[in-house]
Amino acid sequence: MITAIIVDDEPINISNLQALLAKHCKEIEVVATALNADEATEHILKLKPDVVFLDIEMPGKNGFDLLRSLKDPDFAVVFITAYDTYGIMAIKFSALDYLLKPINIVELKNTVDRIEQSVNAKKENSRLNNLLYLLDRKIPDENQKIALPTMKETFLVPVKDIVRCESSNNYTTFYLTNGSEYLISRPLYEYDELLTPYGFIRCHQSHLVNKMHIVSILNEDSGYFVMKYSSPKIPISKQRKSLIKSSLKI
């Protein structure tokens, strides 16, 4: 069984989530609930749960404040929120799970499946640290890292070291300056949203490139990017050509 604590300032939300977990996710055992961050901290330190379902927006200390107050949290976190805020962008960047209210049963079951497969203290700790780093800055940072969860391990990779990303169905392959490649089971559009503020360009339906690593543009067909580090030439779609020129100021 996976032990869990639910933290939400509204009792009805706690009851609803408990009911959904009891009916659809029997591998989860709710060992405690809390209405505020201080109460949650006591339960977490005493019971050491595998996962905390954590409401972000709470009066007084919010969910992020709770995490900041804990030294080396060693549990998985599923954030719960009614709003798609900057915090959600930071959560996505750190490859952490979140659920939007009202909770969708399919999304809840998929989230619990991921938790069951990958509850790992060290991985969660590094992801949470990355999240808090992002939240403290709130603007693109050249030293920022992004969490890339592969089947076996989650890698925290500096954004500036990513040369390009390439999609294949619902998978994305990341190509790095050191020659490493990481296959991630998430679609490219998710990373397009996350990496655009860091100077990445969606030049094609299947390609996202870091303009820091563009060497030249070939005037063949609708155009190709030549990238550093021996990457193949990357196609530029006709539909995106004018936007790309504007972005590169050419």
Is 198 domain-assigned?
yes
Residues 34 and 91 both lie in one domain: yes
Looking at per-residue pLDDT, the higher value among 88 and 172 belongs to 172
Residues 126 and 170 both lie in one domain: no
Number of CB atoms found within 10 A of residue 43's CB: 18
Residues 51 and 122 both lie in one domain: yes
Q: Is the predicted pLDDT of residue 117 greater than 60, yes or no?
A: yes
Query: According to the model, what pLDDT value does residue 88 have?
Result: 82
Query: According to the model, what pLDDT value does residue 93 have?
Result: 77
Q: Give the total number of structural domains in the chain.
A: 2
Is 144 domain-assigned?
no
Query: According to the model, what pLDDT value does residue 207 have?
Result: 96
| Final residue belonging to a domain, choices 137, 172, 193 | 137
Residues 119 and 168 both lie in one domain: no
DSSP for the chain, written as a single string = -EEEEEE-S-HHHHHHHHHHHHHH-TTEEEEEEESSHHHHHHHHHHH--SEEEEES--SSS-HHHHHHHSSS--SEEEEEESS--HHHHHHHHTT-EEEESSPPHHHHHHHHHHHHHH--HHHHHHHHHHHHHHHHH-S--TT-EEEEE-SS-EEEEEGGGEEEEEEETTEEEEEETTS-EEEESS-HHHHHHHHGGGTEEEEETTEEEEGGGEEEEE-STT-EEEESTTPPPEE--GGGHHHHHHHHT-
Distance in angstroms (rounded) separating the CA atoms of residues 246 and 120: 44
Distance in angstroms (rounded) separating the CA atoms of residues 14 and 82: 14
Is 50 domain-assigned?
yes
Residues 11 and 124 both lie in one domain: yes
Is 150 domain-assigned?
no
Query: According to the model, what pLDDT value does residue 119 have?
Result: 61
Residue reference for tokens 């962008």: 89
Q: Is the predicted pLDDT of residue 247 greater than 90, yes or no?
A: no
Query: According to the model, what pLDDT value does residue 67 have?
Result: 92
Residues 226 and 118 both lie in one domain: no
Residues 19 and 126 both lie in one domain: yes
Q: Is the predicted pLDDT of residue 121 greater than 50, yes or no?
A: no
Is 205 domain-assigned?
yes
Mean pLDDT of the chain: 88
Q: Is the predicted pLDDT of residue 110 greater than 70, yes or no?
A: yes
Query: According to the model, what pLDDT value does residue 182 have?
Result: 96
Is 151 domain-assigned?
no
- Flag whether the pTM goes above 0.85: no
Domain of residue 244: give its range: 157-248
Is 146 domain-assigned?
no
- The per-residue pLDDT for range 142-167, each reduced to its tens digit, is 678 898 988 888 888 999 999 999 99
| Final residue belonging to a domain, choices 84, 107, 137 | 137
Mean pLDDT of 226-236: 89
Residues 8 and 61 both lie in one domain: yes
Query: According to the model, what pLDDT value does residue 197 have?
Result: 86
Residues 51 and 172 both lie in one domain: no
Residues 172 and 81 both lie in one domain: no
Number of CB atoms found within 10 A of residue 222's CB: 14
Query: According to the model, what pLDDT value does residue 231 have?
Result: 75
Number of CB atoms found within 10 A of residue 77's CB: 24
Residues 15 and 115 both lie in one domain: yes
Q: Which of 30-44, 128-142, 166-180 has the lowest mean pLDDT?
A: 128-142
Q: Give the CATH number, domain containing residue 226.
A: 2.40.50.1020
Residues 133 and 175 both lie in one domain: no
- The per-residue pLDDT for range 189-225, each reduced to its tens digit, is 989 988 988 899 999 999 999 999 999 999 888 899 9
- The per-residue pLDDT for range 66-86, each reduced to its tens digit, is 999 998 888 889 999 887 665
Query: Which of 56-59's residues contact partners 24+ apart within 8 Å by CB, and which partners?
Result: 56/80, 56/81, 56/83, 56/85, 56/87, 57/81, 57/82, 57/83, 58/7, 58/8, 58/9, 59/9
Is 73 domain-assigned?
yes
Q: Give the CATH number, domain containing residue 28.
A: 3.40.50.2300
| Final residue belonging to a domain, choices 137, 165, 186 | 137
